[in-house]
Amino acid sequence: MGTSNQANSNILIGAATDIGGKPEQQDDYLVLPNFLVIDNQIVHLIGIFDGHGSDGKKAANEAKALFPTVLSSLKDTIKKDPLQALKNSFTIVNDNMKQNQAIDTYLSGTTAVISLIIDNNLHVAHVGDSRLALYKENDTKLSGRLLTIDHNCDSPEERKRVEAAGGRVEQLWLDGKFDGPLRIFKGTLPYPGIIVTRTLGDGAAQTIGVLPDPDVQTVKLSPEDKYLVFGTDGLWDGLSVDQVGKVIMKGGNPIEIANKMLRYGLDGLNKKHIDDNITLIVCRLSGGILA
């Protein structure tokens, strides 16, 4: 189990991570308060990654290392159009990862949720099935909603694109029956077997319709918006959006909340007999901006 706390006059964040039932930790996260200053406005950079494949750990670590450098180089674009800057950064990071000979990005890659927070504007880009939720307080009640939609073959639009590019979509055949989530295979081949339809890396999957292109959006944060929670799929498989909100309501600073959330998430995975890593970030907001 690992935790971290980042705090200054502009930001208060807690993060927690655990290997769970997996043999290796393939998650990673990125917390850079005061990442840039553009026209006297502070830019906070927050991200989360969930690697997969034999080099999933390396893929997630590499994405974490690349995004700050790439986004720094796109400072002028961030000033003009933050969402375009995020789109460009995913393209550049994906290309750089695939060119890195030290990582098997043919059959390995990572999901990513990347956010730039500028004043009370939350700019978000994501690929894969890691998620970001926003929690709003009304009449002392906390209600949450996901800001991301999983990229997988449960989406007819995503599945159609993959199949049109030659991907075979089916569940794994286990003990005489199909079982588990829909996976993507290359023609009649037994690989890559990937679940997500958008990802960074995964050269084989990207020849059959899997994209590195993120969905992007800007959310105007209001005074009622109190918390952001970033989580790899292990968190959300262990806890629902409402259950995460209930953990927040138990109180504490973001690092205390993150640790509680991690424990409850691991318990949730154990009850469902799911082995997975969990990594999460809790951001406390004040009046629509980071506290």
> What CATH number has the domain bearing residue 278?
3.60.40.10
Q: Would residue 193 count as lying in a domain?
A: no
Q: Would residue 192 count as lying in a domain?
A: no
Tell me the one-letter amino acid at 189. L
What pTM did the predictor assign?
0.94
Alpha-carbon distances, residue 219 vs 86, 130, 148, 155, 287 (angstroms): 14, 18, 12, 23, 14
The rounded distance, in Å, linking the Cα atoms of 209 and 231 is 25
Tell me the one-letter amino acid at 110. T
Residues of the domain holding 57: 2-151+214-290
- Residues 6 or more apart whose CB falls under 8 angstroms from that of 281 comprise 13, 14, 15, 29, 31, 46, 48, 228, 229, 230, 231, 258
Q: What is the mean pLDDT of each run of 10 residues along the chain (291 residues)?
A: 48 92 97 94 96 97 98 98 98 98 96 96 98 92 95 97 96 85 93 97 97 98 95 98 96 96 98 97 80 58
Q: Would residue 52 count as lying in a domain?
A: yes
Q: Would residue 175 count as lying in a domain?
A: no
Q: Would residue 244 count as lying in a domain?
A: yes
Report the percent of the chain where pLDDT is more than 90. Answer: 88
Q: Would residue 41 count as lying in a domain?
A: yes
Tell me the one-letter amino acid at 289. I
Q: Would residue 180 count as lying in a domain?
A: no
Q: Would residue 189 count as lying in a domain?
A: no
Domain count, the chain: 1
